[in-house]
Amino acid sequence: MMQAQGRPHATKAPLDDSGLPTFEASGGDWDQIAAEIAELGEERIVVNMGPQHPSTHGVLRLMLEIDGETVTEARCGIGYLHTGIEKNMEFRTWTQGVTFCTRMDYLAPFFQETAYCLAVERLLGVADDVPERAQVIRVFLMELNRVASHLVCLGTGGNEMGATTVMTISFTAREEILRIFEMITGLRMNHAFVRPGGVAQDVPAGLSQEFARVEVEVRKYLKQLSDLMLANPIFTSRLKGTGHLSLAGAMALGVTGPVLRSAGLPYDVRKANPYCGYETYDFDVPTSTDADAYARVVLRLEECYQSLKIAAQCIERLEKSTGDPVMIADKKIAWPAQLAIGTDGMGNSLDHIKEIMGESMEALIHHFKLVTEGFRVPTGQVFQTVEHPRGELGAHIVSDGGTRPYRAHFRDPSFNNLQAVALMCEGGQVADVVVAVASLDPVLGGVDR
Amino acid sequence: MTDDATPDDVTPGGITPGGDIGAAPTDPGHRKPLEVVDVRTGMFGVQGSGDTSGYGGLVHPVTMAYASPRPYGGWYDEAVDILAEVLAEAGVSFDAAINGVLVDPPFATSKYSELTLHVAPEHLVAVCQALRDDQDLRFELSLGVSGVHYPGDVGRELHAVYHLTSITHSRSLRLEVSVPDGDPHIPSTTTVYPTNDWHERETWDFFGIIFDGHPALARIEMPDDWPGHPQRKDYPLGGIPVEYKGATVPPPDQRRSYS
């Protein structure tokens, strides 16, 4: 009945299913469907999973051909969250671009912002002029963001297997980190805080104390998570040996990040090609050789501890450099707005408004030109990579010498890593598909951009 | 032109105050030779002249470098030499395969320089194979394909850009392949780098570059029946005007442009 042309495929012509029996599951009716399928006596069926399925990490669509309980073919369908962010960036100034790329992988916004800003700074030729304090703030935000992102990965991964407590603990811990983000940037997500030339604003007073409190909390939750997961016989039997991806397979498919390191290669852009001064921080890159979903959980937990270690070093440096600039000195690039907390929330500081509106015509002109027109970036192209929680994130930025990016392309690790789904799932159990996809940790906002 | 040239020196007689397409582009350093890829017109963004009013009628050539002179500096010379050797062993002439070697910014002036090899489409797979397999090159990790559309770069409007990384040697380089709009065919590199599968599909989807030999070149982000290739410069952004507090904000592609 299922001929070769009828196999599920993301890319082929629509399946001619006239004459094929089809079933639509709407929840709670699985027994009835199973009984009807059993009547047909057909072992091979095609299951369309998603794009609206709670265990596909958002809007991922999986097309599975299953023979009994065995997956014989697994294909991904993506594009359901494509919003044209790259195209939109070509119609905004270089500074406004940050507002767009932060929304790509919404669980790791600071990584897109930083990759983009580092690329723009290199095109401008000012990469070495960015203040040290701004780089420390970037590293601090990125490392806390890595912890938050890994916590979502572990939490949703656990939830998809039915372990709701793993999810509640992870999200409670993430909430603590989001509080720090809100304290620094004013927002929990979509911050647009890293800007070409530095960061939008200095960190507020009291950050050290807040971080000290949050670090203790997050470490406590991480301990709870490892206690709950790592020695749990159900958890281990479910994850060990599942979603295997060998080193050769990972390299051929360009899979990076924790999935590559779980196969034994200690490749981390922070070590291999440091940016933002990562070469001056003390941290380790954990690896494993088991190459399965369990090893990736262990690695992600360990990476959380390493990230907290880096964040603590950042706090030390921030305390030493209090009062230093956080934006490049070149006034042709530095955004003129000085932010301050007012009675109605965050806005331009009254001192700055007083200067441009009442004291200096030139300051007003400068402010107006830089905000509306923006700055020009010399012609050329740059590829800047950073170590994203999910792998190597690359920003390919092209300038034609104008006030807008000519082309901005992001090599998102989730997009690339999803190619490994077929290799990790085919030949395995259908229930293991969920575990394998969760161990890749795709975020569809980044996949589709 | 010397470094202490004043703005007056670059606007001799016969050139309009807003700039002139016929005038030699001002060289911002060591980037030679520069090739005009686009000509920008408009009211804003005049360079090399004190007149910012725009009444001169801005005509500004956008130029890009395609090749650098030797020595390239750093490991670039050695890597290019090894690539030439390996290609010769495989029976491919280096000059036929590589149209230009660009180090930008120049190695001597910046620690952030990047190596770009402009590869002829017909030899792309051989170059990738050499870069991946030779032990002294060993660019084993491909970081995907990105497209760029230069409508003004006549004869090579569509560029496919490949970023390769050597974990072994801790190096990175860029391959750039340009094809004309009328014949946008590039051989698929999926036989050498299987990871480029989805990236080539994305570049086809967004730019209309056809990767010959790809196992299933179909749209990946847009629906299968979508007309056009959205990231091309001739494809409109779209959008509707938005009313806010009595004023109307036009869609982004219809707002004033300064580029």
| Total CB pairs under 8 A between chain A and B | 139
CB contact under 8 A, A378 and B28: yes
Beta bridge partners of A386: A393
My answer on whether B18 and B86 are in the same domain is no
In chain A, what are the domain boundaries?
Answer: 4-77, 85-332+375-443, 339-373
Print burial letters for B142-163: b (CB count within 10 Å at least 16), e (below 16).
Answer: bbbbbbbbbeebeebbbbbbbb
CB contact under 8 A, B193 and A254: yes
3-state secondary structure of B186: strand
My answer on whether B141 and B98 are in the same domain is yes
- pLDDT-wise least confident of A40-54, A92-106, A141-155: A40-54
Question: Do the domain assignments include residue B217?
Answer: no
Question: Do the domain assignments include residue B127?
Answer: yes
% helix, strand, coil for chain B, step of 5: 20, 25, 55
Residues A200 and A185: beta-carbon distance below 8 Å = yes
Distance from CA of A260 to the nearest CA of B (A): 12
CB contact under 8 A, B252 and A92: yes
Residues A139 and A278: beta-carbon distance below 8 Å = yes
Last residue of a domain, one of B64, B95, B111: B64
Nearest to B222 among A82, A256, A400 (CB): A82
Q: Which residue of B31, B146, B219, B256 to mutate against A (max A Cβ within 10 Å)? A: B146
Beta bridge partners of B161: B146, B176
Per-residue DSSP letter, B213: T
Q: What is the pTM of this model?
A: 0.86
Residues on chain B touching A127 (C-beta within 8 angstroms):
112
Looking at residue B153, which CATH number applies to its domain? 3.30.460.80
CB contact under 8 A, A406 and B201: no
DSSP codes, A198-254: EESSPPPTTHHHHHHHHHHHHHHHHHHHHHHHTT-HHHHHHHTTTT---HHHHHHTT
My answer on whether B124 and B181 are in the same domain is yes
Nearest to B114 among A87, A272, A382 (CB): A382
* Segment (H or E) for B117: strand B114-119
Residue B110 contacts A, CB cutoff 8 Å: yes
> Does the structure show a pLDDT above 80 at B7?
no
Residues A396 and A215: beta-carbon distance below 8 Å = no
My answer on whether B42 and B81 are in the same domain is no
Q: Domain count of chain B?
A: 2
3-state secondary structure of B25: coil
Distance from CA of A380 to the nearest CA of B (A): 7
My answer on whether B38 and B153 are in the same domain is no
My answer on whether B60 and B89 are in the same domain is no
CA proximity to A151, closest of A180, A134, A175, A130: A175
Q: Looking at domain A85-332+375-443, does it have CATH number 1.10.645.10? A: yes
In tens, the pLDDT along A314-371 reads 999 999 998 888 888 888 888 876 777 666 666 777 888 888 888 988 888 888 888 8
Residues on chain B touching A59 (C-beta within 8 angstroms):
none
CB contact under 8 A, B193 and A396: no
CB contact under 8 A, B148 and A394: no
Question: Do the domain assignments include residue B17?
Answer: yes
My answer on whether B38 and B137 are in the same domain is no
> Does the structure show a pLDDT above 70 at A196?
yes
Secondary structure, 3-state, A181-208: HHHHHCCCCCCCCEECCEECCCCCCCHH
Residues on chain A touching B230 (C-beta within 8 angstroms):
84, 87
Please identify among residues 13-72 of chain B the ones whose CB lies closer than 8 Å to any CB of chain A: 28, 37-38, 40, 44-45, 62-65
ipTM: 0.84
In tens, the pLDDT along A393-402 reads 999 999 988 8
My answer on whether B121 and B158 are in the same domain is yes
Per-residue DSSP letter, A358: I
> Where in the sequence is the domain holding B190, given as residue range(s)?
76-212
Nearest to A402 among B28, B45, B253 (CB): B45
Question: Do the domain assignments include residue B45?
Answer: yes
My answer on whether B151 and B99 are in the same domain is yes
In tens, the pLDDT along B45-67 reads 666 666 666 555 667 777 777 78
Last residue of a domain, one of B64, B90, B110: B64
Instruction: State residue B133 phi and psi, 5-degree precision.
Output: -95, -30
Whole-Å CA distances, A419 to A184, A255, A430, B150? 36, 9, 18, 30
In tens, the pLDDT along A281-310 reads 999 999 999 899 999 999 999 999 999 999
My answer on whether B105 and B170 are in the same domain is yes
